[in-house]
Amino acid sequence: MAPIDAVQLSFDPQTLKLLNAVLGLVMFGVALELRVEDFRTALKSPKALALGLIGHHLLFPAMTYLLISVINPLPSIALGMILVSSCPAGHISNFLVHYSHGNAALSVSVSALSTLAALVMTPLNLAFWGNLHPITAGLMRQVAMNPWEMLEVIVLLLGVPLVAGISVARRWPSLARRIRKPMQVFSLLVLAGFIVGALAANFKPFLQFVPLVVLVVFVHNLLALVSGYGLAAAIGLGERDRRAITFEMGIQNSGLGLILIFNFFNGLGGMAVVTAWWGVWHIIAGMTLATFWRGRPPLVAAEGLVPGAVK
């Protein structure tokens, strides 16, 4: 067994409950911007919506499986990669799409449906690909994960805050408008602070083993971003839609991944380190790409957009 496979970054029960609450808060903040009408809007662009969901929940986990076969990482790192690819879209994807002049409505719709689909697809993908690959199958048998228990966690962390946020926005729209941005900024800052604090509490083993996952995460995240843009271009989507699909495939909910690791894998070292570094890196990569695109807004005459305009 490699040293990283024996390392366990542990959270005490109180810390785990706090992380659960933080993720629920983040989801509630995002849900304040969602409306039932968003789903109707998504249906007006079925090709883009289908690519966003298929790319995120089917293609990226399958590509992760192939990438693991090529680079042959350590078992717990490989399982962490599978878990990350099985999570729904990260909550900052909508901000990055809007910041980069992408199709924000498409991004919100894909994120919402991706989160709903994750109630089934996250445990299904993790169980399927984790047990299928010979590198990770042994770890899956050892932890004896119960998919129904994981489904229950996802419902409580994602489903309940999602419904609550949409309900508040529908019943008290003026209140939702006032608290939307402060809530999102506050919750994302709290989440970022929690991740930094958790890494600081486990700084020594993280510092020791993070070099093992830096290149792995870079390649894994780059694969997701490039595939998102390439697939969107291949089926003829416009530039704004391409940017939305790029971030929807390349930004993963690593906070949820960490919760699942500590709930079901006892904080297994390789999984925790690769997922924590994903949470740091995809923000860096996402902001870099969004800033690059922000200086190059697409011209979409049909929508009345001109360079420099934000929709």
Relative orientation angle of helices 211-234 and 46-54, to the nearest 10 degrees: 160
Q: What is the pLDDT of residue 90?
A: 74
Q: List, for residues 207-258, the tens digit of each pLDDT value.
A: 777 778 889 999 999 999 999 999 999 999 999 999 999 999 999 988 778 8
Higher-confidence residue of 170 and 62: namely: 62
CA distance 200 to 206: 9
**Residue 283 in this model has a pLDDT that exceeds 90:** no
Residues composing the chain = 311
Q: pLDDT band for position 1 (50/70/90)?
A: low
In the chain, the number of structural domains is 1
Cα–Cα distance, 254 to 27 (Å, whole number): 13
The secondary structure of residue 210, as a DSSP letter, is T
Q: What is the pTM of this model?
A: 0.77
Q: What percent of the chain has pLDDT over 70?
A: 78
- pLDDT for the residue 207: 72
* Count of C-beta atoms within a 10 Å radius of residue 124: 17
The pLDDT, as a whole number, for residue 58 is: 94
Is the pLDDT at 303 greater than 50? The verdict is no
The answer to whether 130 touches 73, Cβ cutoff 8 Å, is no
User: Mean pLDDT over residues 186-211, rounded?
Assistant: 72
- Residue 296: which H helix or E strand, with range? none
Highest mean pLDDT among 35-39, 109-113, 157-161, 283-287: 283-287
| 8 A C-beta contact, residue 84 and residue 257 | yes
Output the pLDDT for position 254.
82
Structural domain contains residue 62: yes
In a domain, 299, yes or no: yes
**Does the pLDDT of residue 5 top 70, yes or no?**
no
In a domain, residue 311? The reply is no
Average per-residue pLDDT in the chain? 80
Question: Is residue 259 a part of any domain in this protein?
Answer: yes
Q: Given a cut of 80, is residue 294 above it in pLDDT?
A: yes
Report if residue 298 sits inside a domain: yes
Residue 16 scores a pLDDT above 70 = no
Tell me: the pLDDT tens digits for 27-84? 787 777 777 776 676 677 789 999 999 998 999 999 999 999 999 998 889 999 999 9
Phi, psi of 252 (to 5 degrees): -105, 155
Provide the token pair at 5: 């496979």
Q: Is residue 1 part of a domain?
A: no
Residue 182 maps to a domain: yes
Residue 92 lies in a domain: yes
The confidence score (pLDDT) of residue 307 equals: 41
Question: What CATH number is given to the structural domain containing 255?
Answer: 1.20.1530.20
Give the range of the structural domain holding residue 182, as residue numbers without chain letter: 13-303
Contact 255, 278 (CB under 8 A): no
Are the C-beta atoms of 278 and 216 separated by less than 8 Å?
no
288: left (phi over 0), alpha (psi -120 to 50) or beta: alpha
pLDDT of residue 305: 46
Of 222 and 91, the structure prediction assigns the larger pLDDT to: 222
For the segment 111-151, what is each residue's pLDDT rounded down to a tens digit?
Answer: 877 877 887 888 889 989 999 988 888 887 655 456 666 56
